[in-house]
Amino acid sequence: MKLTDSPEAVATDLQDERLQARAGLRGGLTTVIDRARGGDLGMIPVVVGLVVIWTVLQILNPVFLSSANLVNLAMESAAVGVIALGIVCVLLVGEIDLSVGSVSGLSAAVVAVLFVGQGLPAWIAIAVAVVMGMAIGYLYSQIYNRFGVPSFVISLAGLLAFLGLQLYVLGSRGSINLPFDSGLVTFAQFAFVPPWLSYVFAVVAAGALFASGFFHARDRRNAGLSASSLTALLARSGALLVVLGFVLWYLNQTRGLGWMFVFFVALVLIMHYLLSRTKWGRAVYAVGGNVEAARRAGINVKAVYSSAFVLCCTLAAIGGILAAARLAAVNPSSGGGDINLNAIAAAVIGGTSLFGGRGTAFGALLGIIVIQSISSGLTLLNLDSSIRFVVTGGVLLLAVIVDSVSRRSRTSHGRA
């Protein structure tokens, strides 16, 4: 606290004598430790997990942390990452969608058939697939809102039904290759940000973080509330600049930053804004926390569920298109295999609670990097998918255990 301890000098929100003053770096650290003890782990498990996984894999195979492999890792993360972002939305309202893999496969098949088979322009094919994703989400939400069928049953039915539809759309052709010179494949395989532009991105990101923090702190100070100091803001954006700068410099040693990954990060940022800075976002968290309270507060609960399902299936459709473009082909197994589980695992590992009301958009970004690291590392070790499935399954289970234990700990520390 300041030396001038007159009532006027103390910010409105710090006047209670029971509050312990926590300023500066040490105060911030104490707060983080306190929260973690109380079961509010936030991003800690995923960051720790990432460090452990990267260390182990680097020791097992020195190629793992090479620039070329990390560039590849980022590109591979984008498609499933977009799907995981949608999963975060449904998990936040306390529901689940098990059919994202099938929806992504169906959307890829629709794009391939319209674009390659019918010769339509790519943007029309993509638009049709995305609208179809929306329609599927709307259908789910209507079944959920009108009949009250649990979402995991609805989406389990969808898992099978849309896999069937995907096979029907592909028909006897089986596999369809996307032409290598098409914009879609170029975007997913060969489009990289020029190094100078990637550094501009880093500077803009750090600058935006500082500006938003600065204006927020100014508004708070003007309103007589406590606010973070200029030093803290500078330290935060400086740290972001250094980290981003280093990562980009390392990636730029080889091919650099892929546009597809930039697209994924842009979606994460938009979702982060929607969830944390809009009325809709508050409604999503409220519905996930206590539906009855949300309803009594005048929130249109059905509309919130609908928006979550529609967003999830739309993002699944977009993810499917990205995956098809990355592979430059669509076949009956597109969207199959471990895509479903990887997307859900990424969301949960990223700190999104299966019990609803907790999680962030950034969780999907970090979570998918963990999942993709495991997959990439095991591929580098020449281990086949049997072992990959077992390891990914184990990591998912571990993430859910962490979620459940921290939930119990929150309850016992009064932070449920």
Binding site for other proteins (CB under 8 A): 12-13, 16, 18-19, 216, 219-220, 223-225, 277-280, 282-283, 285-286, 288-290, 292-294, 296-299, 357-358, 410, 413-416
Which residue's CB is nearer to other proteins, number 299 or number 321? 299
Which residue's CB is nearer to other proteins, number 180 or number 215? 215
- How near is the Cβ of 216 to other proteins at its closest, in Å? 7
Q: How far are the Cα atoms of 96, 108, 368 from residue 163, in angstroms, in the given order?
A: 18, 12, 23
* CA proximity to 358, closest of 41, 15, 72: 41
Give the largest CA-CA distance in the chain. 81
Rounded distance, CA 146 to CA 151, Å?
A: 12
* CA proximity to 324, closest of 196, 223, 210, 188: 188
Q: How far are the Cα atoms of 107, 117, 266, 304, 317 from residue 130, in angstroms, in the given order?
A: 7, 18, 18, 20, 6
Which residue's CB is nearer to other proteins, number 27 or number 393? 27
- How near is the Cβ of 186 to other proteins at its closest, in Å? 35
Which residue's CB is nearer to other proteins, number 326 or number 410? 410
Which residue's CB is nearer to other proteins, number 236 or number 282? 282
176: β partners: 330
- How near is the Cβ of 265 to other proteins at its closest, in Å? 21
Rounded distance, CA 104 to CA 84, Å?
A: 12
- How near is the Cβ of 367 to other proteins at its closest, in Å? 20
Which residue's CB is nearer to other proteins, number 283 or number 324? 283
- How near is the Cβ of 141 to other proteins at its closest, in Å? 20
- How near is the Cβ of 277 to other proteins at its closest, in Å? 5
Rounded distance, CA 334 to CA 174, Å?
A: 11
Which residue's CB is nearer to other proteins, number 214 or number 249? 214
SS3 sequence of 190-216 = CCECCHHHHHHHHHHHHHHHHHHHHHH
CB 364 within 8 A of CB 87: yes
- How near is the Cβ of 38 to other proteins at its closest, in Å? 8
DSSP per-residue letters across 320-361: HHHHHHHHTEE-TTTT-TTHHHHHHHHHHHTT--TTSS---H
- How near is the Cβ of 225 to other proteins at its closest, in Å? 6
- Residue 413 tokens read as 């520390």
Rounded distance, CA 28 to CA 35, Å?
A: 11
Rounded distance, CA 154 to CA 385, Å?
A: 29
Which residue's CB is nearer to other proteins, number 94 or number 101? 94
Which residue's CB is nearer to other proteins, number 26 or number 296? 296
Give just the sign of the alpha carbon dihedral 192, 197, 199, 202. Answer: negative
- How near is the Cβ of 59 to other proteins at its closest, in Å? 39
CB 316 within 8 A of CB 104: yes
